[in-house]
C-alpha cells in the first residue's frame, strides 16, 4: 500500500485524505495546531464546485449548515444604508462557516486516516524509493510521498524551495466573533472609511456576529506570533472610525478566536520536487476573492485522481495535476490581486465610486446577470472524471 504524509489539516489536507483513502492509500495527516482550527469567516461554493461536493457525498451535510446569509448593506458613519451587495456576489450558491466545513471533512476521514496534532515536519530527505521525514516531536518515519497542504506560510514549501516565493499585497484581514449587538438576522453591514473596511454579519447563531476588518497595515505582518501586538496595531488603525466601530474594536480585545492574515500570493514555477508536492494555499495562495477553498478541494480531488490514474508513477501524476490546476489558479490570482483596494478603497472618492457600482449591480435585472457571470467565473473546467472516484 502506498503511504502518504500530508502536512496540514486545514481544507486541502483533509480533502486530499478523503480521496486518497478511497483509492486505498495509507494516509497520515500532521497538523501543527493542537486541534482542528475553527476560526475564520464563511466560505462559498458555486458552479462546478457544487458538483464536486456532490461527488464527495457531503453536499447535503453542508446544506444543513449553510449560513443562509442575505444581502450585505453598506452603511455610512451613522449606520444609514448607502448601497447594498446582493448575496450572490459574496455568498455564492452555498455558503458555510469555514470551521463547519473543516469539521465535516475531518468527520468523513477520521476513521480511515491517521491524524497527528501538535506536530510538524522539520526535515525531509528523499531518495529514489521514499522520503525520510523528521518531525519536531514524533520519531522519524518514512513515507512513499509527502504533500505540503500547510497553507500560506507552508513549512513544506520552505523545506523544498526556500523562502521568498510570497508577494505581499499590503493588506491584512482580521476576523473574530462578538455579540450580535445590531440584532442582525441573516444579513451583514459594511462600513468603509479611507483604507479601512469593517464587516459585521450574523447568520446561523442569532446571538453572535462575525467581524471581518480589512486595512492596509503591513506592520501586522511583523508581529505574526504576537496577538497582543497585533490587537494594539488594529486598535490604532481603526481608532477614529464612526458607526459602531469603537464597540467592535473593544469586542476584539475580548475575542478568543482572533484570526489575522495578510493578503499575499504565492508564486512558484513548479509545485513538486521528486516525491514531494504542494497543494492549496501552500502552492497557489491568491488571497481573499481567489476562490482558495474551492481550488484547494478541486486540487485535492485532481491530485488524488491523477495519482490513482497513473498507477504508481507519481512524477507523471504530479505533472498532470499541475497542468490541470495551474490555469485556474493563475486566473484567480490575477482576479484577486486588487481585492484589498476593492474592499478598502484608499480615498473617500474611490469609496463613493465603488458604492455607485454596487447600487447598479443590486438593481433587479443586474442581479440575475451578475449571478450568471459569477457562476461562469467559478466554473474552472478543471473538474475531470476519474475512473474510480
Ligand atoms: C483558522 C483559519 C481561518 C481562515 N479564515 C479564512 C477566512 O476567513 N477567509 C478566507 O478567505 N480564508 C481563510 N482561511 C484560509 C482558507 O482556509 C484557505 O485559503 C483555503 O481554504 C485553502 O485551504 P488550505 O488547506 O490550503 O490552507 P489552510 O486552510 O490555511 O490550512 C493550512 C493548515 O496547515 C496548518 N499548518 C500550517 N503550517 C504547518 C506546518 N508547518 N505543519 C503542519 N501544519 C501546518 C495550519 O494550522 C492549517 O490548519 C483561513 C485559514 C485558517 C487556518
- How would you class 71 by CB atoms within 10 Å of its CB: exposed for 0-12, middle for 13-18, buried for 19 or more? middle
- Measured from the Cβ of residue 386, the count of other Cβ atoms closer than 10 Å reads 16
Closest by Cα among 293, 325, 303 to 62: 293
Residue 202 Cβ inside 6 Å of ligand 1? The answer reads no
Give the position, in ligand 1's atom list, of the atom nearest the Cα of 33: 47
Residue where the block lists cell 494594539: 232
Question: How far apart are the CA of 154 and the centre of ligand 1, in A?
Answer: 10
Q: Three-state DSSP class for 83?
A: strand
State phi, psi for 51 to the nearest 5 degrees.
-65, -35
Residue range(s) occupied by CATH 3.30.9.30 in the chain: 168-263+342-372
Whose CA is closest to atom 37 on ligand 1?
150
Question: How far apart are the CA of 316 and the centre of ligand 1, in A?
Answer: 28
Say what the pLDDT of residue 195 is: 95
| 298-353 per-position pLDDT tens digit | 999 999 999 999 998 999 999 999 999 999 999 999 989 998 999 999 999 999 99
Q: Binning pLDDT at 50, 70 and 90, where does residue 367 land?
A: confident
Which CATH number is 168-263+342-372's, of 3.30.1490.20, 3.30.1330.60, 3.30.9.30, 3.30.70.3270?
3.30.9.30
Enter the DSSP assignment of 271. Answer: S
| 129-178 per-position pLDDT tens digit | 999 999 999 999 999 999 999 999 999 999 999 999 999 999 999 999 99
Question: How far apart are the CA of 151 and the centre of ligand 1, in A?
Answer: 5
| 48-104 per-position pLDDT tens digit | 899 999 999 999 999 999 999 988 999 999 999 999 887 877 788 899 999 999 999
Q: Binning pLDDT at 50, 70 and 90, where does residue 389 land?
A: low
Whole-prediction pTM value?
A: 0.93
Residue 120 Cβ inside 6 Å of ligand 1? The answer reads yes
From 85-94, 146-155, 204-213, 230-239, the region with the lowest mean pLDDT:
85-94
User: How many CA atoms within 13 Å lie on the side-chain side of 235?
Assistant: 12
Question: How far apart are the CA of 153 and the centre of ligand 1, in A?
Answer: 9
Residue range(s) occupied by CATH 3.50.50.60 in the chain: 3-69+96-166+265-337
Q: Binning pLDDT at 50, 70 and 90, where does residue 388 land?
A: low
Q: Does domain 3-69+96-166+265-337 have CATH number 3.30.2350.10?
A: no
Spatial separation of the C-alpha atoms in residues 39 and 10, rounded to whole Å: 11
Amino acid at each position: 500500500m502506498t503511504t502518504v504524509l500530508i502536512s496540514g489539516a486545514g481544507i486541502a489536507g483533509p480533502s486530499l485524505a478523503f480521496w486518497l483513502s478511497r483509492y486505498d492509500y495509507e494516509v497520515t495527516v500532521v497538523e501543527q495546531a493542537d486541534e482542528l482550527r475553527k476560526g475564520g469567516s464563511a466560505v462559498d461554493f458555486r458552479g462546478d464546485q457544487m458538483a464536486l461536493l456532490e461527488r464527495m457525498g457531503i453536499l447535503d451535510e453542508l446544506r444543513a449548515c449553510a449560513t443562509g446569509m442575505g444581502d450585505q448593506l453598506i452603511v455610512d458613519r451613522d449606520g444609514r444604508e448607502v448601497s447594498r451587495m446582493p448575496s450572490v456576489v459574496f455568498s455564492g450558491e452555498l455558503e458555510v462557516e469555514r470551521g463547519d466545513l473543516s469539521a465535516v471533512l475531518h468527520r468523513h476521514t477520521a476513521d480511515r486516516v491517521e491524524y497527528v496534532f501538535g506536530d510538524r515536519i522539520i526535515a525531509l530527505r528523499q531518495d529514489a524509493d521514499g522520503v525520510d521525514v523528521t518531525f519536531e516531536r514524533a520519531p522519524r518515519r518514512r513515507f512513499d510521498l509527502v504533500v505540503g497542504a500547510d497553507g500560506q506560510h507552508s513549512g513544506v514549501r520552505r523545506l523544498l524551495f526556500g523562502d521568498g516565493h510570497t508577494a505581499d499585497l499590503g493588506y491584512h484581514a482580521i476576523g473574530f466573533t462578538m455579540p450580535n449587538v445590531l440584532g442582525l438576522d441573516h444579513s451583514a453591514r459594511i462600513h468603509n472609511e479611507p483604507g479601512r473596511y469593517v464587516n459585521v454579519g450574523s447568520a446561523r447563531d442569532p446571538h453572535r456576529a462575525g467581524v471581518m476588518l480589512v486595512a492596509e497595515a503591513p506592520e501586522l505582518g511583523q508581529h505574526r506570533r504576537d496577538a497582543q501586538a497585533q490587537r494594539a496595531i488594529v486598535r490604532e488603525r481603526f481608532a477614529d472610525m464612526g458607526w459602531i466601530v469603537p464597540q467592535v474594536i473593544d469586542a476584539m480585545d475580548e475575542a478568543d478566536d482572533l484570526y489575522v492574515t495578510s493578503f499575499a500570493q504565492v508564486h512558484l514555477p513548479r509545485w513538486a520536487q521528486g516525491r514531494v508536492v504542494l497543494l492549496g494555499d501552500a502552492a497557489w495562495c491568491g488571497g481573499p476573492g481567489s476562490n482558495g477553498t474551492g481550488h484547494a478541494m478541486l486540487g485535492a480531488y485532481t491530485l488524488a485522481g491523477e495519482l490513482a490514474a497513473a498507477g504508481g508513477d507519481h512524477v507523471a501524476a504530479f505533472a498532470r495535476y499541475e497542468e490541470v490546476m495551474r490555469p485556474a489558479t493563475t486566473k484567480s490570482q490575477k482576479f484577486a490581486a486588487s481585492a484589498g483596494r476593492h474592499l478598502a478603497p484608499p480615498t473617500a472618492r474611490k469609496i463613493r465610486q465603488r458604492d455607485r457600482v454596487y447600487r447598479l449591480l443590486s438593481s433587479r435585472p443586474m442581479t440575475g446577470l451578475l449571478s450568471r457571470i459569477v457562476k461562469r467565473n467559478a466554473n474552472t473546467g478543471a473538474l475531470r472524471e476519474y475512473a474510480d472516484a
